[in-house]
Chain A
């Protein structure tokens, strides 16, 4: 009933120096209940042993992480992160999310330009081993890289399609050569991780991994995956880092949010990571006895109004700007997320997890009906007797497509509709399923405006996928581009390409911010908010619980335990 339907995993993003630090929303709202809403990680001492049950609102379709059947974020949270080793972890450094070499690596991988080609050297830690005791080696990196580059049924080849060759001078060293500069190289082996060549090479990888696999290079192993019911993890004895405190963790799939909350209240599950639907927010506001919570507004999921820049009336920059002045984004965020203490409006298409690259240019757009009037009249529109703008017989009316069965988004659409009516726009609503919206409607541009989320899955900016005119779906790119909004603005493509290919951090940041300014000036689309993340857990759960917007709330599951 409730899963927030998002765009498929976007191309990942590279990290850079720290900039704006969005303070974690420490908030408290009424209710004398025993809830702790501070975002400071809960760090209660734990005992060794015991088991926990965690509610998961979505079941992944398969566990072959690099294939098209994967891509569900809950698969990443529940099975991939606990079992698949990766080159870069996402950790908070100086207040911003950044890629940090994982404990699988002997040191930070080095990237250099050699004659127009980018050469990256990876050194693997001698301690790193698979669950069968075999060391994690350069052959594993090579196998993974080539599976993704040359595979048939791959979810996303971004970055890997630039790989020219992978050399393995010794078992602990892999040297990857890219055909051209790729500033987002840190996402390689970090979003997909590394797969064991000695178990998969020459075999049917999909068949081995699809329904859950027994190998592991992380703290946990998949003990069982009962389709439709649960996934159970047990400790991986061979893991070289901190071993899990718990003996067993079970993720129970609970498709119904209302029932999931009741399950937490009744003690049938010990933790939940619900998508912040209004009922969830109200439950938290009302106070859940014996339940702790943490809210993090710094997520990688950006909700925005997407204009089709190639369709009337939004082919006119003035109309897009007028729309942006007609909406009271602050009031919307306040109403929908205020209960969680989240009041921050998104002012850039770069989400907080790539906050270092984000400008604040959209903050110019605040509710201002005077601006709406002057922009619209300046563009040749006049208000008709019905209070709706019209230009040469054409009314300023349009349809907003949204995803079905998301109550929060339903309400957001209704607020937009009401506010736009006041400003002289007639908006109607059409809801679609994600499959339909992202495979039929948006690639063909058969819409005027839409409301959906853009999701970052790695701390590295790549707005070029969404805003570079080369990525407008067309015959040329086999309709695989995802510039669904048909964005085209002077100088924008160049800036976005610079972001993609500049390895030097300051220059890259500068280009990203300039691109942000261009996007905001023409109001190519309008960011609304980043969807806050909510983690709830019962009193009995202990350990340093903290949300990681990229790896999920269970990234440090090995440190969780029964509170002592």
Chain B
């Protein structure tokens, strides 16, 4: 197991290296690193920056220099804000991680419940109802849900009942000056987490349903039933447990994509996470943030994929990681 993990990590290094090379090249070809300076009215400023940052060298040479500094922990500074790139990314990771964590937690539980229920009551009214909901969930973009939820759950109630404050907040993850896990945090979390979760629950519940159906049709469940094991116990102890491995694999794989994929939600709910950092950097052509950003996200995806495999092995004793 340990050897497997180590091997996987070693194998992913060249993939990340190639990715970094391609991304570095693509980003530099797309943007002029000193575009912002060019708008200033000091012609020498551009020249100075080019010399200081070695931008007059060949691209492979620049890549090598950048890679060496990056590996050594010096990620450079942003051309947009002048801040240290590493601290910018670290600061952006935290809100995104919180949002992703709660969304995944909520969506996993809901999807599992809906999936198991729908599978057990296959073709019942409830099953069809959940199927219909899932279709709607995957058929509309997240920003639409976000805006409608804000209107329905925050602005609407406040206006209708003349409240001083909306029941749920939708700016950031905390009120100003607050922090920690409290009611204020919860009131901030509900809407963005719901927005992200809708699509996740819709997709995952379908998957949970089908792997549950597989498990219910398997020999050991039939055997258990034949032996007279109580229905509830069959469903949860035998079937659900055995369908957990493939379900959680899908969860982990999709979760990996959330790290960089919460752009729209972060935008609407003013959460200073990775997505907003990316778009701010993209808009101003901040090449010094874009490349490290993509690499960090790529590394996070690699890690999540690995976790998915390990989780699968732990949950399903038939699988051996070698």
Contacts and interface: CB of A to CB of B under 8 A. Distances in A.
Interface in B95-138: 95
Contact of A435 (B44, B82, B177, B285): B285
Nearest to A259: B268
Contact of B267 (A255, A289, A440): A255
A153 interface: yes
Contact of B45 (A153, A262, A435): A153
B12 interface: no
Contacts of A479: 38, 43
Interface stretch (A132-140, A194-202, A222-230): A222-230
Interface string A149-175: 000111111100000000000000000
A394 interface: no
Given A252-B270, A259-B170, A265-B155, A156 B40 contact: yes
Nearest to A482: B41
Contact of A439 (B32, B88, B154, B159): B32
A254 B41 contact: no
Contact of A68 (B36, B83, B170): B36
B155 A254 contact: no
Nearest to A477: B43
A227 B80 CA distance: 13
Interface in A249-270: 250, 252-256, 258-259, 262-263, 265-269
Interface in B268-305: 268-270, 272, 276-277, 283-285
Contact of A262 (B46, B151, B172): B151
Contacts of B41: 156-158, 480, 482
Contacts of A263: 170-171
A267 B35 contact: no
Interface of A: 1, 8, 53, 61-62, 64, 67-69, 152-158, 206, 210-211, 226-230, 232, 250, 252-256, 258-259, 262-263, 265-269, 289, 433-436, 438-440, 443, 477-480, 482
A289 B91 CA distance: 38
B96 to A, nearest CB: 11
Nearest to B95: A228
Given A250-B176, A262-B155, A435-B36, A1 B267 contact: yes
A59 to B, nearest CB: 8
A192 B128 CA distance: 65
Contact of A252 (B42, B92, B171): B171
Interface in B25-84: 31-32, 35-46, 48, 80-83
A152 B270 contact: no
Contacts of B170: 259, 262-263, 266, 268
B169 interface: yes
A267 B171 CA distance: 11
Nearest to A264: B155
Contacts of B169: 268
Given A152-B48, A228-B92, A256-B268, A439 B36 contact: yes
Given A266-B158, A436-B285, 19 more contacts: A62-B82, A67-B82, A68-B37, A68-B39, A206-B82, A210-B82, A227-B91, A229-B172, A252-B172, A255-B270, A262-B150, A262-B151, A266-B154, A267-B164, A436-B35, A478-B43, A478-B46, A480-B40, A480-B41
Nearest to B266: A255
B176 A53 contact: yes
A438 B151 contact: no
B311 interface: no
B184 to A, nearest CB: 12
Nearest to B41: A480
A268 B268 contact: no
B147 interface: yes
B214 interface: no
Contacts of B246: none
B272 A227 contact: yes
A54 to B, nearest CB: 11
Which 4 A-B pairs give the minimum distances between C-beta atoms? A228-B272, A478-B43, A266-B166, A439-B38
A435 B172 contact: no
A277 B43 CA distance: 35
Contacts of A210: 81-83
Task: Name the residue among A157, A158, A256 with the largest chain B CB count within 10 angstroms.
Answer: A256
Contact of A228 (B146, B150, B276, B283): B276
A268 B80 contact: no
A259 B170 CA distance: 8
